A and B are shown apart, each in its own frame.
Chain A
Amino acid sequence: MQNIRWKVITIVVVLVVFAGVGVYPILAGRYHWPSPGWLQEKQLKLGLDLKGGVQLEMRVETDDALRLQTDQESERLRDELTKKGVMFTNLTTPSVTQFKFEGVPPAQAAAFRDAANEVRANYDLSPGTNGTYTFTMKPNIAQQLGDEAVVQARETIERRINELGVTEPSIAQQGTDQLLVQLPGVTDVDKAKAIMGSPGLLELKIVEQGPMSTKESLLVGGQVPSGMEIVPGSSGAPGDTANTSYYLVRKVAAVTGRDLRNARTSLDENNQPAVAFTLNNEGGRKFGNVTGDNVGRQLAIILDGRVQSAPRIDSRISTDGRITGSFTNEEVQNLSLILRSGALPAKLDYLSEGTISPSLGADSIRSGVIASFVGLLLIVLFMLVYYKFSGINAVVALVFNLIILLGLMAYIGAVMTLPGIAGFVLTMGIGVDSNVLIFERIKEELEAGRSSRQSMNAGFSRVFWTLVDTHVAALISAAFLFNFGTGPIRGFAVTLALGLASNLFTSIFVSKTLFELELTGRGQGAQLSI
């Protein structure tokens, strides 16, 4: 008696807790019942396919980060060689992880190696014939740079999305270089893509010459002067060379977007939308030095490889600047958002996109709920008809199972998706199987002439390991399903697995306690209705 009282108390406590976490907030939200905020916060979350929103899958082009590193290192070595008077005829970059110096005179081989010492921390050096030296990025460095690029991209996107004010966005890394971004409630997928995918690379460079209408007019002796580069202006479309002007600028930027402290919308002197920016201390010092040395020259404000404007430097500027151009209000807002959140370390390639309107999601919820109730009704009818009074036992265990499942999902913050609803419905059909196995065994024992209590005990203990086996087998496939899927499918795997776990509890513990209750206080001759 003592024993069974504790069992009942345990069950009631478990039920109240899970019903409180899993079921009450849903009902409270629907029928406007009072509910504390912390409980509403724990409420079962709906996946994108039920709530509506945008989902984007993208790959971070980690090659960009490697190329940048290779360019920087090769340029640094070139400077070093020039400083030390080491000769070479050519510098090429055959791949994103390789660069090659050619034509180093044999007499200067030792000096070359000496200069290359620092580079060799990250690159393997392999000498070839005719003074050729090939530097190849060490695999672990390449790996590390790639990983860093993905992490940085993820953080940058996170900042941009947060600035957009999306509630409960989710950004998850998939595999080595892919990101899955989910934006509930967002419907304008093009805007989201534009903001997330914009490189947002701001560079301020001193203009040596320009603007000119052709690239050729900026060349010196048919070549781009050393340490310089040609950057197109922003006027005209990318393919439209007729209206594009070109600037010859110093390759090394005075400051970049990394030195930004803030960027915000403002107006230029003609009351046109513009972006005002403030540099941090370090950037301000650099900027002050460069502008102070170059008063009277033009400063190119380059955004993502295009000169937006090239105002004349009238005096030394330290921390504040402004980006002007022919912007709309919205462009200015997006641009300042992008600049605030920092540059992407690499390009993003969109692999897939999906949008679901909230009404489509609501349709899914409705049909999912109807299917759940029809499924439940069918199971309840069957169990009551086939197992008579004991069917009630199974139905109670089943309802407990579903309540615990909802509570568990809400508690661990799992997301309910449309396939998750399918898992929920299947849990009813599969969960009740445990009761069927136990009941059939009890019947068998009863037919073998045992008493009700003996049969009931034997039924539960004999079937226990069978249940463990079937549940483990199902959990194995659920685990691989979780590993395979993303988003909605993961929701399904989680629902299924939690349903299996709670089913073990309800079909063995709850069901048995109910039988014990039924038999308590009745004599040896008590009959089970089964």
Chain B
Amino acid sequence: MHIFKDTKYDFLRWRWHALVLSWVIILAGLFVLATKGIPKGVEFAGGTVVITEFSKPTSVEDVRAALDRSFRGGDVVVQAYGDPSKNQVRVRVPSIGAEKGQGLSATKDAVVAALQKSGLGEFRVAGSEIVGPTVGAELTSKGIWATALSLVGILAYLAFRFQFSFGVGAVVATIHDLLVTLAFLAFFRYDMSLNVIAAVLTMTGFSTNDTIVIFDRIRENLRGMRRDSMYQIINASVNQTLGRTVITSGTALLTSLALFFFGGEVLHGFAFTMVVGIITGTYSSVFIAAAIVSFWRGTAPTRAGAHAPASTSAPQQTPAPQQPTRKTKAQRKARAS
């Protein structure tokens, strides 16, 4: 079986459309973030989460009503949690107890007390999380730093392995993926949680994979297709690698979907982020990363001298690739003459 065999799509012709589409999504996402704010998980926003397990079926509305009656703690968010047969309810309150000392759990105790008074039947606290505001602030800055530094790390590595323009292309594509993923998180109102950040960081590593595969092929073709313009080389490279780009993303997508549908409540945001990240990562490898290189390098025909550093600096020891084979001999002759 072979999908996308010998395709000849002119991907670069669509680069402007792609850029516009990406900007529309990103700006819409930013607009949603600016107007509605980022929904933050309790780790980042601080606050109290209590997961209770009732001994008999209890509706979210009943719990909310019970809390409204006798709990004074600001905006209470009540959601069903986990497997419906377990009658679990998740209550989130933005406040905690006193910030210092042992009073941290005051809000949790108040929630539990309010539920005990409610007459909703027996229940037990299956889990709780109480986060003070300092933790959230620290995590936010750490998360941003980790993401930024990992981008710099990837840029540096790719600049070392390829040319600087390739590194820039890969990193711009990854930043694009980050922004698009954030936009989708904003559209679907997923909480920014630690797991989501973990997925975002994983995605930065993974979304460069397809880009690297394409860039590897461009580098290979730069040596093999010396007469062709950068435009043609990039297009040919994207087409030649199209099959594997789609398949590799497809397998990663399959497992992410398995996580999304079966991984349970806690991993929902994580899996969603991965799904979006993988799709946009594939799209950006094809439409954005290569386009950046073409903008950077221009569309002029490549000359042997222009990319000499690429072949000398690359530690690749394999013999010069001969793809596509038919052209190679003619080209070697052309260069010799």
Residue ranges of A at the interface with B (Cβ–Cβ < 8 Å)? 49, 57, 59, 189-190, 193-194, 197, 347, 349-357, 359-360, 363-364, 366-368, 370-372, 374-375, 378-379, 382-383, 385-388, 418-419, 421-423, 425-426, 428-430, 432-433, 436-437, 440, 443-444, 448, 461-462, 464-466, 469-470, 472-481, 483-485, 488-489, 492-493, 496
A190 cross-chain contacts in B, Cβ below 8 A: 102, 105
B209 touches A433 (CB 8 A): yes
Known pairs A371-B259, A430-B252, A477-B202; A489 contacts B194 (CB<8 A): yes
Contact A422 B259 (CB under 8 A): yes
Tell which of A349, A488, A496 touches B101, judged by Cβ atoms closer than 8 Å. A349
Dominant SS at the A interface? helix
Please encode chain B, from 254 to 278, with 1 for each CB lying within 8 Å of some chain A CB and 0 for all others: 1111110111101100110010000
Bound form: Cα–Cα A521–B308 in Å: 43
Chain A residues with Cβ below 8 Å from B132 are: 350-352
Interface residues of B in 53-96 (CB under 8 A from A): 53, 82-83, 86
| B104 CB → nearest A CB, Å | 5
Q: Are B205 and A436 in contact (CB under 8 A)?
A: no
Question: A244 to chain B: closest CB distance in Å?
Answer: 20
Interface string of B170-195 (1 = CB under 8 A from A): 00000000000000000000000011
Minimum CB–CB distance from B332 to chain A (whole Å) comes to: 17
**Residues of A contacting B240 with CB < 8 Å?**
444
Closest to A347 in B: B101
16 A-B Cβ contacts within 8 A? A194-B102, A350-B132, A354-B128, A357-B53, A357-B124, A367-B263, A370-B262, A374-B258, A419-B270, A425-B259, A469-B216, A473-B209, A474-B205, A478-B201, A484-B143, A488-B195
| Contact between A364 and B266, CB atoms less than 8 A apart | yes
Chain A residue with the shortest CB-CB distance to B322:
A448
Closest to A483 in B: B146
Chain B contact residues: helix, strand, loop or mixed: helix
Contact in complex: B102, A418 (CB < 8 Å) = no
Smallest distance from the beta carbon of A485 to chain B beta carbons, Å? 7
| A422–B271 touching, CB < 8 Å | yes
CB distance from B81 to the nearest CB of A (A): 9
Q: Which residue of B lies closest to A440 (CB)?
A: B244
Contact of B206 among A428, A430, A483 (CB under 8 A): A430
When A and B form their complex, what is the total count of cross-chain residue pairs whose Cβ atoms lie within 8 Å? 245
Q: Which residues of B contact A419 (CB under 8 A)?
A: 195, 198, 267, 270
Residues in A whose Cβ lies below 8 Å from that of B147: 480
Asked whether B24 is an interface residue with its Cβ less than 8 Å from the other chain, the reply is no
Find A418's partner among B150, B256, B266, B315 (CB 8 Å cutoff). Answer: B266
Is B35's CB within 8 Å of the partner chain A? no
Q: How far is the CA of A118 from the CA of B74 in the complex (A)?
A: 56
Q: Flag if A422 contacts B318 (CB, 8 Å).
A: no
B213 interface hit (Cβ, 8 Å): yes
Cβ-based interface call for B228 (8 A): no
Chain A residues whose CB sits within 8 angstroms of the CB of B21 once the complex forms: none
How many Å from the CB of B271 to the closest CB on chain A?
A: 7
A488 near B194 with CB under 8 A, answer yes
Q: Given A363-B82, A440-B243, A470-B209, check contact A375 B153 (CB 8 Å).
A: no
Contacts A462-B321, A474-B205; is A355 near B128 (CB within 8 Å)?
yes
Query: What is the minimal beta-carbon distance from A461 to any residue of chain B, in angstroms?
Result: 5
Q: Are the C-beta atoms of B101 and A473 separated by less than 8 Å?
A: no
- The smallest beta-carbon distance between A112 and chain B, in angstroms, is 39
CB of B131 closer than 8 Å to a CB of A: yes
Given contacts A190-B105, A350-B101, contact A386 B1 (CB under 8 A): yes
Distance in Å: Cβ of B255 to nearest Cβ of chain A: 3
**7 A-B pairs with least C-beta separation:** A429-B255, A367-B264, A477-B205, A484-B146, A375-B258, A474-B205, A429-B252
| B325 interface residue (CB < 8 Å to A) | yes
Question: Which residues in A have their C-beta under 8 angstroms from that of B158?
Answer: 469, 473
Is B17 an interface position by the 8 A CB rule?
no
Near A by CB (< 8 A), chain B positions 85-132 give 86, 99-102, 104-105, 124-132
